[in-house]
Amino acid sequence: MAKAKSVWGIDVGHCALKAIKLTRTPDGELEVAALDYIEHAKILSQPDANPPELIAESLEKFLSRNDITQDGVALGVPGQHTLARFSKLPPVDPKKIPDIVRFEANQQIPFDIDEVVWDYQTFSEPDSPEIEVGIFAMKRELLHEHLAHFTDAGIEPILVQASPLAAYDAMYVDDHLGQETSVLVDIGADNTDLLFTDRVRIWTRTLPIGGNTFTDALATGFKLSFSKAENLKRQAASSKYARQIFQTMRPIFADLVSEIQRSIGFYTSTHRDAKIERLIGLGDAFKLPGLLKYLQQNLDLPVVRPELFSKVKWASGVNKDEEHELAFAVAYGLAAAGLGHGMMKNNLLPPEVARQVLWRKKKPWFAATAACVLLSAGLVWYRYSADMGTLGGSNEAANTTVSLSEADNIFKNGLPRSMNPREYSYKVAKTAEVFKSEQGRLANEGQEEKQELDDILSLLELKVLYPAIMDAVHQALPPPPTQLATTTSGVEYVDQIIKAGELLERAKREEIFIDRYSSQFSDNVLAEDYRPEGMDDGPLFDFYSEQGAEGFIITLYCRTPNQDKGKFVDKPGGFIQNLKLSGQQPDQGFYFDGVRLISGASKGGSSSAKPAGGLPVGGKPAGGAPEGGGAGSGTSLGGRDPLTLEEIKEDWEFVVKLAVVIGELPKDKTPGTPAKSGRRPTGGGNR
């Protein structure tokens, strides 16, 4: 890593850019030369935020206020995007450690080693032969995506480090680490970084709880927009509703305590000699009213908010940012590490980026060398120009043109050697230009046809989703009764019903049949509202997208013999709920949204039974069945079950509508596990 006299540590979080410039004084001490806190125009994780644009704006503002051209820059990368693995090494010759670590990295990094940028650091106690190694890695694609914000702004880093390690260095430089194990708790906007350390070893973990989790709780509890809830959170300490705000956030406090307790339990089980001394709270979220006290009471541990910069000097005219002091820990640690004062020596700067930075720093020297070479070559250049004059010919050669047919002839037969050298060279160059132009023309031909072909191929790609969509629908159907689960034919199915007698009386069977279905494509399914008039009972969809989403509106025409009718269909763990579960699984290329029981009635006529939730009941499904049926529609079943020949006039008919959104399930959705599907044998069953 290049040595610098002064280094900026820059930490770009979801809420703000934090930057601090440290210099090394003549007596070897650190001095804060500059400090900057730039809040983004919007929190990066807000639904309507554009993170690249917001980060670019903040960097532009930072560069307009600070000159960094003569300084090194150390950058932090989010803890949740980095991988940390720890293992103990046997006592070996120090020269062999890199080879052993490289082998460990190949074993412990769950990606192809070429897909990641990684580095390591060894930890050992004085007078102890035991060595522990920490391997830190980040996917190369994610790292370049993060660095692009800075390189696009002309910022070239000399150090890249995971945020939890930088926070550790801040505590190390300020000597806030005790003799026993301390737990650093750095609460960011989206995640919380935990780091356990006894000054010799470290262990890290990232929790999916952050400041935005508290904001979301307030937005839901007080029915506010995200931005208004964020303002309420920030003013909570002085608000007259502080008690209500705390009560609303209390479940998130409890989740945070639970995750910290689990982490402490794991760490102490793997480090038997560890004694947790205290928690060190970092990040602006620790200003939340009641958080520190809640952690102390429920973890039974001291929780401290450290005073940053306690071991450094301050340059004249530079003052602390008292309001956001705890938010500067990562930037502080990065700058200290960049000057060689940190404990952490690992660097995730990609080698190719490091080479580019080194090359640019050497360019002035190359330019000076090139100037000397040009000066010494002046006479040679003059002689060359004189010799060119002897080649003969006139400027007319430069204006020569070559047609496509002529170029083809030159390519096949060549040019006469007796031609003037200058004219010969121009003919060859023009021939190449003609071929290049023709190549471009041919490449542009057929673009319209190619687009049509791409559209057809995209339709074929979507076509394979349909069987998967139907499979998800069938998975939601209730399993058959135990007596019928193993039947393999229609005859055996009927025999089991007869044998079971009253036990399998039709009105008691937990069965649902899909008689037919229809589907309609929409370029924005989340903009559709297919509920009947008067059935507006809250938001239709679980997910909202301003950009819209392509997909299908699917209508299922179903019936059930079960005597509980709508209560059976819409009960907890029933068909409606199972549709949401089976259709909201990750990595299936689509997900179900807006699953609704629209209407229902007995097959023999109107019914007094209502689906759960008091849905309207009528003789026809809402909107009416389509003439001739939709995709997969069937004909009238008459008055008997086609498999068992039982009368079905008492069966309860109902309609279910749902939206199938083409795309992956939003990451913040954690679906349950759908009930196991059951199927009737060939010749009948769940249709």
Q: How many CB atoms lie within 10 A of CB 115?
A: 11
- CA-derived radius of gyration, the chain: 35
- The predicted pLDDT at position 416 comes to 82
Angstrom CA distances, 683 to 45, 197, 492, 639, stand at 52, 66, 11, 18
Question: For the segment 397-454, what is each residue's pLDDT rounded down to a tens digit?
Answer: 556 788 888 888 887 778 887 777 777 877 888 888 888 887 777 777 666 666 666 6
Give the whole-angstrom CA distance, residue 684 versus residue 681: 6
Which domains, and CATH codes, for the chain? 1-176+306-360 (3.30.420.380), 179-305 (3.30.420.40), 377-444 (no CATH), 457-662 (no CATH)
- CB within 8 Å of 676: residues ≥ 6 apart: 479
- CB within 8 Å of 218: residues ≥ 6 apart: 224, 229, 232, 233, 245, 248, 249
The one-character DSSP state at 531 is: P
Choose the most confident range, by mean pLDDT, from 348-352, 373-377, 480-484: 348-352
- DSSP labels, 291-334: HHHHHHHHHTS-EE---TTTTSEE-TT----STTGGGGHHHHHH
Instruction: Determine the residue type at 443.
Output: A
User: Crossing angle for the helix pair 211-222 and 242-270, nearest 10 degrees?
Assistant: 140
- DSSP labels, 616-665: -B-SS-TT-PPTT-STT-----TTB-TTT--B-TTPEEEEEEEEEEESPP
Mean pLDDT of the chain, nearest integer: 81
Q: How many CA atoms lie within 13 A of 327 on its CB side?
A: 26
Burial class (CB in 10 A: 0-12, 13-18, 19+), 103: exposed
What is the reported pTM?
0.55
3-state SS, one letter per residue, for 431-455: HHHHHHHHHHHHHHCCHHHHHHHHH
- The predicted pLDDT at position 238 comes to 82
Average pLDDT of the residues in 371-376: 53
Starting at the earlier edge strand, list the strands of the sheet with 116-123: 82-89, 131-139, 116-123
pLDDT at 126 over 60: yes
- The predicted pLDDT at position 656 comes to 94
Give the whole-angstrom CA distance, residue 353 versus residue 155: 11
The continuous run of DSSP H or E covering 265 comes out as: helix 242-270
The one-character DSSP state at 45 is: T
- CB within 8 Å of 418: residues ≥ 6 apart: none
Check: CB of residue 540 under 8 Å from CB of residue 596: yes
Give the whole-angstrom CA distance, residue 599 versus residue 383: 95
Question: For the segment 525-577, what is each residue's pLDDT rounded down to a tens digit?
Answer: 888 888 887 776 677 887 755 556 788 999 999 999 999 999 999 998 899 99
For β-strands 590-602 and 652-662, DSSP reports them as antiparallel
Give the whole-angstrom CA distance, residue 331 versus residue 680: 63
Question: For the segment 223-246, what is each residue's pLDDT rounded down to a tens digit?
Answer: 998 889 988 998 887 888 888 888
Check: CB of residue 139 under 8 Å from CB of residue 115: yes
